[in-house]
Amino acid sequence: MIAEILATGDEIRSGALVDSNSAYIAEKIEELGIKITRHNCVGDDENELTTILLELAERADIIVVTGGLGPTLDDLGREAAARAAGVSLQLDAKVLEKIESFFFSRQKTMPENNTKQALFPQGATILENPIGTAPGFSVKIGRGTFFFLPGVPAEMRKMLNQQVIPRIRLNLKEVYYYKTATISTFGLGESALEDKLCDFPKLFPSIKLGFRASFPEVQIKLYQKNSDEKALIKKQEEASSWIKEKLGNKIVSLTGQPMATVVGDLLIEQKATLAVAESCTGGLIADWLTDRPGSSDFFLLSAVTYANEAKEKVLGVEHTTLEKFGAVHEETAKAMAAGVQKLNGATYAIATTGIAGPAGGSPEKPVGTVYLGLAGPSGCKSQHFFSAFGKRRLNKKIFAIQALNLLRLELLSEKN
């Protein structure tokens, strides 16, 4: 059994929009053990659409089509599906009623155009849309079972998972259980991880291993299918433990959480609070930490002190420290961390001071140089790091994650 994907719409065809739907669909279908052989994309042109539907009807068993179900003139998915299937379009009274009440509940009158969204090729199965007005549908053409879904990613994803995947699974000869686990890591590149885990395929032949850069972290993906659900869960746990033993504290999270979330969890677990002093990271550490709902439980403040005067005035860094060592120095990093820790009596504090570039570098302190400061219950320390990436935004990210990792390792050692 093989599957293909068809994205439709002029925005994707002309490059105005990157198609992220097809990757999502491909992953979900391949998790079922069905191979995706091709992705395709055509624009809002009824002839082009009908032609490719007929090609797909000869080539694949399952086809997921996205887009072309909106209410406007250039939404031609229904028309092309009916033409390719050699049937006419029929109005579904129940669906029309639902669309009308959708508008009614928002105190609006349904625009005439939307009537179109209640039309379906004769014999099609209607696929409910729990979010928007446009239902999808499934229709058989030639060898292929086609699933037509809206192009809006949020609607498409819900409908794929609720309406399409269960239908495909019903027709599979064997019923499998699927599990995709994500482990987030930091500190080793993809090939170094692959090296360290080189025995994995031998030890766990039933689990497919994947690596995905989620810069600056690297995620390990474990894909498993099994007809026995209990065996699947047990195998998963064994594999996670084995990887944990191999990688130690390079593992940020066995459940795929990113660095900032994990640091937040550890702080909450230890009933500790955090203050941050940022120079070269420019607020990025605070931004990451506060993306976590409930971060006010541990996060007190970040002082983004770009100017030296702000380092003195807000953080209490001594003028002589800045004069003697300069802003980019381990002593300054330590003084920044100690200063911000004191402000509101935080349990921990981290600080960054460095050169993100493109300007500001020197032979002694080139662009990419950063000093990290850490203040905790057991005192102050500093760490030097050099990033060879050379780009400002990347440097900010590398500096920020290094600072969070320094704190993470401290919190872990506190825990043990």
Q: How far is the CB of 416 from its own copies (least distance, A)?
A: 29
Of the chain, the end-to-end C-alpha distance in Å amounts to 51
Burial of 228 per CB tally in 10 Å (0-12, 13-18, 19+)? exposed
Dihedral sign of CA atoms 270, 275, 279, 281 in order: positive
Residue closer to its own copies by CB (options 89, 301) is 301
Dihedral angle of Cα 10, 135, 21, 174, to the nearest 10 degrees: -140
**Structural contact between residues 315 and 278, judged by C-beta atoms closer than 8 angstroms:** no
Q: How far is the CB of 6 from its own copies (least distance, A)?
A: 10
Q: Give the DSSP letter of residue 134.
A: -
Each as own residue / partner, the long-range contacts of residues 410-413 (CB below 8 Å, 24 or more positions apart, any chain) are 410/348, 410/374, 410/376, 411/263, 411/266, 411/267, 411/270, 411/272, 411/348, 412/249, 412/266
- The rounded radius of gyration (Å) of the Cα atoms in the chain is 27
Residue closer to its own copies by CB (options 166, 294) is 294
> Which residue is it, tokens 């994907």?
5
Q: Give the DSSP letter of residue 110.
A: P
Residue closer to its own copies by CB (options 127, 275) is 275
Q: Can you give the binding site for its own copies, defined by CB under 8 A?
A: 7, 12-20, 22-28, 30, 36-43, 48, 52, 210, 212, 221, 275-276, 278, 282-287, 289-291, 293-296, 299-307, 309-310, 313-314, 343-344, 356-359, 392-393, 396
Euclidean distance between CA atoms 134 and 74, whole angstroms: 15
Kindly report the backbone phi and psi dihedral angles of residue 268, in degrees, each rounded to the nearest multiple of 5, phi listed first: -65, -45
Residue closer to its own copies by CB (options 124, 352) is 352
Residue closer to its own copies by CB (options 12, 338) is 12
Q: How far is the CB of 167 from its own copies (least distance, A)?
A: 19
Q: How far is the CB of 291 from its own copies (least distance, A)?
A: 6
Residue closer to its own copies by CB (options 120, 396) is 396
**Structural contact between residues 342 and 273, judged by C-beta atoms closer than 8 angstroms:** no
Q: How far is the CB of 166 from its own copies (least distance, A)?
A: 19
Instruction: Report how far apart, in Å, the C-alpha atoms of 138 and of each of 146, 149, 400 are.
Output: 5, 9, 48
Residue closer to its own copies by CB (options 36, 118) is 36
Q: How far is the CB of 336 from its own copies (least distance, A)?
A: 12
Q: How far is the CB of 277 from its own copies (least distance, A)?
A: 10
The set of residues, in sequence order, having a beta carbon less than 8 Å from that of 233 and lying 6+ positions away, is 179
Q: How far is the CB of 105 from its own copies (least distance, A)?
A: 16
Residue closer to its own copies by CB (options 92, 312) is 312
Residue closer to its own copies by CB (options 123, 189) is 189
Q: How far is the CB of 16 from its own copies (least distance, A)?
A: 6
Q: How far is the CB of 244 from its own copies (least distance, A)?
A: 23
Residue closer to its own copies by CB (options 123, 130) is 130
- Exposure class string for 352-381: b at 16+ Cβ within 10 A, else e: bbbbbbeeebeeebebbbbbbbbbbeeebb
Per DSSP bridges, beta strands 136-141 and 125-127 are antiparallel
Residue closer to its own copies by CB (options 15, 379) is 15
Q: How far is the CB of 190 from its own copies (least distance, A)?
A: 12
Euclidean distance between CA atoms 233 and 247, whole angstroms: 21
